[in-house]
Amino acid sequence: MDEAIIWLTILALSIFVGIEVISKVSSTLHTPLMSGTNAIHGIILIGAIFVAGTADSAPVLVMGLAATVLAAVNLVGGFVVTDRMLKMFSAPNKKTPGKAPAKKDGAA
C-alpha cells in the first residue's frame, strides 16, 4: 500500500505543477506550447525501448519496436518543430532576407 500512496503523491503534485507552470501563458504562445507539451509526452519512448528490450517473443519484440519508432517520431519531431517555430519568434528582426525591403525600421 505504501508504494501506491507514493505514486499517488507524485501524481497529485505533478497535476498542480502542470497547471501552475502554464497558467499565465499568453495566447500568442499557445501553438508552440501545445507543440512543446506534445513533444514531452513522446518520452513514452523510454517505455517503448524498455518493452522492446525485455521482449520474450518475436511478436512482442515487433510491437515494441513499432512503438519505439512511433514514440521517437513524436519526441524528436515535436522538439524540432517547436524549435523551428520559436526561432522565428525570438529573432524576427535580426536578419533581412534578400528579397525583403530595408524599410522595416520605419514601421516600429
9 binds another protein (CB under 8 A): no
Ranges within 78-97 binding another protein (CB under 8 A): 78-90, 92-93, 96-97
User: C-beta of 91: minimal distance to another protein in Å?
Assistant: 9
Ranges within 19-48 binding another protein (CB under 8 A): 19, 21-48
- CA neighbor of 48 nearest in space, from 24, 72, 31: 72
Written as nine digits, the cell of 25 is 501563458
98 binds another protein (CB under 8 A): no
CA distances from 30 to 35, 38, 41, 72 (A): 8, 12, 17, 23
